[in-house]
Amino acid sequence: MKPRIVPALVVLPVAFVVFALWLPGGDAAFLSFGNARLIALQSVPLVIGSLGMMLVMAGRGADLGAGGAMTLAGALAAMLAAAGMGPRGIFPVLLLGGIAAGMFNGAMTRAAPGSGLVITFLAGALFQALARLLPEAQAAPPPIQEAMALFPPFPWPWFAAGFWGALLLVLCVGGVLRHTLWGHHLLALGSNEEAARLCGIRVGRTRFFAMVAAGVLYAVAGGLLWGAKGSVEPENAPWLTLDLVSAALLGGAALEGGRAPVGGVVLGAVTVALVRNGVALAGGHRTVADLSIALLALGVLRLRASSRQA
């Protein structure tokens, strides 16, 4: 059996060296400490959302509506904030909304096996349309802005609360996959669905809960993204999906399922954030970053196809 290689372990240092040589020196340059903090902060929503994408991929699927779910969560959070609700009320509502969105996706894909890509794509379009219908987003309240602040207030050391919350979620997702029966079932059905079914694993239910967990992670990521940017842009939903899928693939997740490399997905998310940051510092258009990330993801898929044929 060939060893599994995490593409981000190669792409991340190469991208770092390319941008470091391209953008040398200066307080605002790529190598500055402040920019390193910025990349870490920009990675937070990507890490959380990519973990959700990884869970869906582990069960032999992919969620093409993840970006729509994130933008809807951000728009909902902005609407609640405009109504006077504080962070202690906003995030529980987002969690319930994430559960509802995940249950919707899970129920639809369970009712129509083999149509997961189409269903999640349509669900993402639905979520994106709903985000457009909600009132125009306003800036996040100070507590949520501070959770994603570049230089956080006391008592958070080095990084803001959002960073430490993402780290906690990474540990929780890894623990669930490693130490729970559901986690073992998810990886088993991704490795060999027919064998898992013969062993008594409830394939449909296991995938359903993967969708629910992913929905919760997308909701948290969307809320934090709104806190970081101070705005919600539903038209960016497809590019958010691109980032999440690419981060998962760069981290070692596979469309054929059976893999849940939590640490690798974190590196994949950092790689995507680093590419976007480097292109922005170089003065490149966002399209250049989108193209670069898409080509990286396609390259990973092509290399895996070649590896399987060898």
Q: What are the tens digits of pLDDT across the range 45-85?
A: 999 999 999 999 999 889 999 999 999 999 999 899 888 88
Give the relative orientation of helices 161-179 and 33-58 as an angle to the nearest 10 degrees: 30
Query: Rounded to the nearest 10 degrees, how much is the dihedral formed by the CA atoms of 80, 82, 87, 89?
Result: -40
Average pLDDT score over residue span 134-162: 72
Mind listing the domains of the chain with CATH numbers? 8-15+33-303 (1.10.3470)
Question: Which position has the token pair 């997961």?
Answer: 116
Please state, for a pLDDT cut of 70, what percent of the chain lies above it.
93
Model confidence at 239: pLDDT above 80: yes
C-alpha–C-alpha distance, residues 221 and 71, integer Å: 9
* pLDDT for position 6: 81
* pLDDT for position 27: 46
* pLDDT for position 5: 66
Q: 45: cis peptide before it, omega within 30°? A: no
Indicate whether this model's pTM tops 0.95. no
C-alpha–C-alpha distance, residues 220 and 222, integer Å: 5
Q: What are the two backbone dihedrals, phi and then psi, of residue 155, each rounded to the nearest 5 degrees?
A: -105, 15
Lowest model confidence (mean pLDDT) among 154-158, 178-182, 190-194, 213-217: 154-158
C-alpha–C-alpha distance, residues 252 and 167, integer Å: 19
User: In the structure, what pLDDT confidence band is assigned to residue 282 with cuts at 50, 70 and 90?
Assistant: confident
* pLDDT for position 300: 92
Model confidence at 1: pLDDT above 60: no
User: What are the Cα distances from residue 23, in Å, to 17, 43, 271, 272?
Assistant: 10, 20, 17, 18
Give Cβ neighbours of residue 133 (< 8 Å, ≥ 6 apart).
none
Per-residue pLDDT tens for 107-123?
A: 999 888 878 899 999 99
Model confidence at 164: pLDDT above 80: yes
Most confident segment among 20-29, 154-163, 179-188:
179-188
C-alpha–C-alpha distance, residues 256 and 171, integer Å: 24
- Other beta carbons within 10 angstroms of residue 18's beta carbon come to 13
User: What are the Cα distances from residue 306, in Å, to 158, 221, 230, 299, 309?
Assistant: 43, 34, 43, 11, 5
- Do residues 248 and 268 make contact, with C-beta atoms less than 8 angstroms apart? yes
Nearest to 223 by CA among 143, 144, 136, 123: 144
Question: Which position has the token pair 């969560």?
Answer: 73
Q: Which helix (H) or strand (E) holds 300?
A: helix 286-309
Average pLDDT score over residue span 229-236: 85
Model confidence at 177: pLDDT above 70: yes
Question: Which position has the token pair 């239910």?
Answer: 205
User: In the structure, what pLDDT confidence band is assigned to residue 258 with cuts at 50, 70 and 90?
Assistant: confident
DSSP string covering 152-163? PPTT--SS-HHH
Which amino acid is residue 298, in one-letter code? L
C-alpha–C-alpha distance, residues 41 and 149, integer Å: 8
